[in-house]
Amino acid sequence: MAATVSDLLDIDPRVFVVLADISASYFHRASARHPDRIINVGIMEQTMISLAAGVALEGFIPVCHSIVPFLVERPFEQLKDDFCYQGLGGNFVSIGASYDYGTDGMTHYGPGDVAILATLPGMQIVVPGTAGEFDTLFREAYTNGSPTYFRTSAHQNANDRAVSFGHLELVRSGSRATVVAIGPMLDRTLSAIDGLDVALLYATTLAPFDGQTLRAAAAARSVIVVEPFYEGTMVAEIVRALAPDPVRVEAIGVPRRVLSRYGTPEQHDADIGLTPAGIRQRIERFLDSGR
């Protein structure tokens, strides 16, 4: 993230970075080169977002960054009013997806970010599966004049794919159902569906959602979405894309309960079944129930 944004600071004089302490050390060198276009406001996230809107009012392209709860949930109203309502473009790059900070407790978990941001008109949502994909998608979208949320994660897939903003990618074909793997869920989903007759779509842009590609790929109107955040977040978008046809949907992701244990992301995955085996089990159950 810092490498991409620092590079853009060098080549695009409109880029203006607004930080709230988190990751500030990653921008020391860029700050020395562009002291007028990087500010670390301190621990004041509401001001980070409103200040960025002020920067946008003057024609700059702001980039804000923090851990999910402090970028999305604490200053949510600032995102709504100062960017969406005012029709301003800006970029909001998070770290600490879901339980990436798995030993720090619920205050530092962020499985609800995409669900609440999806309520905001005009908010674009991007969930890259690798750092390389973040670089590609950010460079493609950061100037597009809309508020855009980039959700980065410690969970990454092994390889970059040729992603493109706003498009689902058909990874493999199949007839019994269509699985949609979102961002860092791709690798484990590929393992989970090994040998199953299902199609697989890879999603990195969630809003705007590429319903056209889903509609073309989901002939059976049975869809399973594997989500790295609260499960069910994308169901409404999937149903909308396939409307008015009746559709069977299964959502596999983070359950909506307080995650009260402390552990590695892998331990949390195992606890909630977000592993290749757990995902396969739920996919098989879904396929069997539709016979």
Partner 1 sequence: MSAGRAIVAGDDTRGRTGFERVRALMEMAAGDEKHDPSAHSTLDIVWVLYDRILRFDPTEPRSESRDRFILSKGHGPVALYAVLATKGFFPADELERFMTWPGILGGHPARDRVPGIEASTGSLGHGFSMAIGVALALKAKDSDRRVFVLIGDGESNEGSVWEAALLAGSLELPHMTCILVNNRSSTRPLGDMAAKFTSFGWVARDVDGRDHDALETALRQTDARRPSLVVAHIS
Ordered DSSP codes for 100-118: TTTTS-GGG-BTTHHHHHT
- Convert 270-284 into a string of H (helix), E (strand) and C (coil): HHHCCCHHHHHHHHH
Task: From residue 87, give the alpha-carbon distance in Å to each of 121, 144, 213, 223.
Answer: 10, 12, 28, 34
In the complex, what is the shortest distance from the CB of residue 28 to partner 1, in angstroms, rounded to a whole number? 18
Strand partners, 98: 110
Nearest residue (CB) to partner 1, 77 versus 266:
77
For the chain, how many residues are written?
291
- Which amino acid would we find at residue 165? F
In the complex, what is the shortest distance from the CB of residue 113 to partner 1, in angstroms, rounded to a whole number? 21
Task: From residue 60, give the alpha-carbon distance in Å to each of 63, 75, 92, 143, 153.
Answer: 10, 20, 14, 10, 27
Nearest residue (CB) to partner 1, 34 versus 176:
34
Nearest residue (CB) to partner 1, 41 versus 182:
41
Q: Could you tell me the two tokens for 132? A: 């390389």
In the complex, what is the shortest distance from the CB of residue 27 to partner 1, in angstroms, rounded to a whole number? 16
In the complex, what is the shortest distance from the CB of residue 122 to partner 1, in angstroms, rounded to a whole number? 12
Nearest residue (CB) to partner 1, 21 versus 187:
21
Nearest residue (CB) to partner 1, 62 versus 265:
62
**DSSP-based three-state secondary structure for 150:** strand
In the complex, what is the shortest distance from the CB of residue 231 to partner 1, in angstroms, rounded to a whole number? 32
In the complex, what is the shortest distance from the CB of residue 140 to partner 1, in angstroms, rounded to a whole number? 25
Q: Could you tell me the two tokens for 73? A: 């949930």
The footprint of partner 1 (CB under 8 A) covers 16, 18, 36-37, 39, 41-42, 44, 46-47, 49-60, 62, 77-78, 81-82, 85-87
Nearest residue (CB) to partner 1, 42 versus 290:
42
Q: What is the DSSP letter of 90?
A: E
In the complex, what is the shortest distance from the CB of residue 147 to partner 1, in angstroms, rounded to a whole number? 14
Q: Are 18 and 52 in contact (CB under 8 A)?
A: yes
Nearest residue (CB) to partner 1, 72 versus 177:
72
| Maximum C-alpha span of the chain | 63
**DSSP-based three-state secondary structure for 200:** strand
